[in-house]
């Protein structure tokens, strides 16, 4: 994992694996950087959620433990942030992360536009909502665009558009 976008991509894969139809990604910059990934996928029962929070469970048949959540937890701890995972069986999952993005250990932001445009390519995903906040507020609802034929030129357009909005608010993407 080289930058924050790689982590976000990996965490959104959890939502895809949980067969989410809608993913909402919120990125907001105030004193701290907050990243919220919310999905309406399969969710977890309390017992599974407890194990996942202790990094003792994976539904991946090719691994004995999962890596994604424990890696982001390490980054949160390194940068004096916070980690909250909420889930309800059959109702979905929400991950709320905060980071001190001025911390010396905080990675580069990376190509978040590419992460979002990659998600757009998933056929099973019906809705993708992106909120970017930093004084200015941007909202992208990719529902309409997700229903159209998926092409590389639209993918590229989404990537550029989102990265430009992030640059507008001073993010180094």
Residue 41 as a binder of ligand ATP (CB under 6 A): the answer is yes
Smaller CB separation from Mg ion, 52 or 171: 52
Q: Which of 172, 163, 148, 171 is nearest to 114 (CA)?
A: 163
> Total residues at the site for Mg ion (CB under 5 A)?
2
Residue 68 as a binder of ligand ATP (CB under 6 A): the answer is yes
Taking the complex as a whole, how short is the minimal distance between the CB of residue 41 and ligand ATP, in angstroms? Answer: 5
Residue 128 as a binder of ligand ATP (CB under 6 A): the answer is no
Residue 113 as a binder of ligand ATP (CB under 6 A): the answer is no
Residue 87 as a binder of Mg ion (CB under 5 A): the answer is no
On the 0-12 / 13-18 / 19+ scale of CB atoms within 10 A, 73 is middle
CA–CA distance, 84 with 140 (Å, rounded to integer):
24
Residue 22 as a binder of ligand ATP (CB under 6 A): the answer is no
The one among 26, 58, 100, 127 contacting ligand ATP by CB under 6 A: 58
Taking the complex as a whole, how short is the minimal distance between the CB of residue 65 and ligand ATP, in angstroms? Answer: 7
Taking the complex as a whole, how short is the minimal distance between the CB of residue 64 and ligand ATP, in angstroms? Answer: 10
Per-position x/- string for 2-41, each x denoting binding to Mg ion as judged by CB under 5 A, each - no binding: ------------x---------------------------
Positions that interact with Mg ion (CB under 5 A): 14, 68
């Amino acid at each position: 994992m080289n930058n924050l976008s790689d982590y976000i991509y990996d965490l959104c894969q959890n939502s895809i694996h949980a067969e989410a139809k809608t993913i909402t990604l919120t990125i907001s910059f105030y004193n701290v950087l907050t990243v919220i990934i919310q999905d309406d996928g399969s969710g977890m029962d309390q017992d599974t959620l407890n194990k996942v929070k202790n990094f003792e469970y994976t539904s991946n048949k090719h691994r004995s433990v999962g890596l994604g959540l424990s890696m982001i937890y390490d980054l949160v701890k390194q940068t004096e942030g916070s980690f909250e995972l909420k889930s309800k069986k059959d109702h979905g999952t929400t991950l709320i992360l905060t980071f001190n993005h001025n911390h010396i250990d905080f990675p580069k932001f990376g190509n978040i536009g590419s992460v979002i445009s990659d998600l757009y390519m998933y056929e099973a995903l019906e809705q993708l909502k992106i909120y970017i906040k930093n004084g200015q507020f941007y909202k992208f609802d990719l529902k309409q665009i997700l229903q159209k034929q998926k092409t590389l030129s639209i993918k590229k357009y989404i990537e550029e558009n989102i990265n430009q909005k992030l640059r507008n608010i001073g993010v180094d993407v």
